[in-house]
Structure 1
Amino acid sequence: MTEPKIETVLTSDLITLEEPPAEKEATIEFLLDRAVEAGRVTDRETALEALLAREAETTTGVGMGIGIPHAKTDAVSEPTVVFARSSTGVDFDAMDGEPATLLFMLLVPAEGGEEHLELLSSLSRALMHDDVRDRLHEAESKAAIEETITEAVA
């Protein structure tokens, strides 16, 4: 199975410039609603249960101001990444204690185990670079965010 292209997984309708809620669970719901509105989620409640169950297993706050809540679920029709950023940060229980200001939600179909890991790995590697995080913080449009992520993950 080949890794899905980031351009098909993160489209402009999955990027929001709106400020997410300050609380983790509300932020997860905020991100999930973007995927629902984009027609990527077939069952919001099932997707939310999968995300919260994954969150309960171990933190998805990876440090350096990044939160990547993610889940494999039958409630999503295709691999999907949603992006938002927070000016104040959301506590995702990151190891470094820093709140997450760059938020990525990753949803993949239940049978997409390999895709899930490859996508998560590619995204995580790209976000380790200071310049990528800086560009995401400074981007003033959805197009600039989409371009930054596409270049970084390609």
Structure 2
Amino acid sequence: MVLGSIFSPSLIKVDLESEDKNEVFEELVEVFVANNPHVSRLDLLDAIRAREDKQSTGIMRGIAIPHGQLDSISGVKGVIGISRNGIEYDSLDGEPVHLVFMLFSSCSSCSFHLGVLHRVATLLKDPAFFPSMLEQRSSEGVYSTICKYEDVLLSAFV
């Protein structure tokens, strides 16, 4: 279970208050730093914004996967946010974002980072996953949903 080890309930925020992309970056980085105090808030924001400057990570259908690399992270770590109202994100389809998977990795963990991105993208292909995530009202519920869908995904390959 890869995603279950990256996103714990303490790294999941339901009911985001952010209204735009920069606000959601700030809000989710605050959650991340509260759980990883050794990592610089400014370095995290710089890494996310540098990647976002290349192309929007709002990938369509209400989903964004902002991600960045920095040396102060070991492996791959992440934080999830859910917005009930939607976030203006400059998404590829122009629609507001409701589900944000923010990922950070070390520069030396590139292949693992890509594997995690692939795993998230695979979950998002399941038409029931997105609505199941938005139905959750607690971080524990979101975490359980991720674990459930990841287990189903893994069992399909056994």
- TM-score (norm: length of structure 2): 0.88
Aligned residues: 151
CA distance in 2: counterparts of 1:56 and 1:115, whole angstroms: 23
Question: Could you say which residue in structure 2 is the equivalent of 1:137?
Answer: 134
How far off is 1:153 after superposition? 2.9
Question: Could you say which residue in structure 2 is the equivalent of 1:17?
Answer: 14
The match for 2:90 among 75, 88, 93 is 93
CA distance in 2: counterparts of 1:40 and 1:61, whole angstroms: 27
Q: Which runs of 5+ in 1 are unaligned?
A: none
Question: Could you say which residue in structure 1 is the equivalent of 2:31?
Answer: 34
Please state whether the residue corresponding to 1:76 is helix, strand or coil: coil
Question: Could you say which residue in structure 2 is the equivalent of 1:126?
Answer: 123
How far off is 1:25 after superposition? 0.8
Residue range with higher mean Cα deviation, 113-122 or 89-98: 89-98
RMSD, aligned CA:
1.6
The question of whether the paired residues in 2 share the 8 Å contact of 1:20 and 1:85 is answered with no
Work out whether 1:48 is the aligned partner of 2:50.
no
Please state whether the residue corresponding to 2:82 is helix, strand or coil: strand
CA distance in 2: counterparts of 1:41 and 1:87, whole angstroms: 31
Q: Which runs of 5+ in 2 are unaligned?
A: 152-158
How far off is 1:128 after superposition? 2.0
Q: Which amino acid aligns with 2:126?
A: H
CA distance in 1: counterparts of 2:78 and 2:92, whole angstroms: 23
How far off is 1:77 after superposition? 3.5
How far off is 1:72 after superposition? 1.2
CA distance in 2: counterparts of 1:75 and 1:59, whole angstroms: 24
The alignment-based identity, stated in percent, is: 27
- Tell me the alpha carbon deviations over residues 90-137 of structure 1, each in whole angstroms, 9 at most, x when there is no partner: 122222211110111011112110011110111011012221101111
The question of whether the paired residues in 1 share the 8 Å contact of 2:75 and 2:112 is answered with no
The question of whether the paired residues in 2 share the 8 Å contact of 1:16 and 1:84 is answered with yes
Residue range with higher mean Cα deviation, 73-82 or 25-34: 73-82
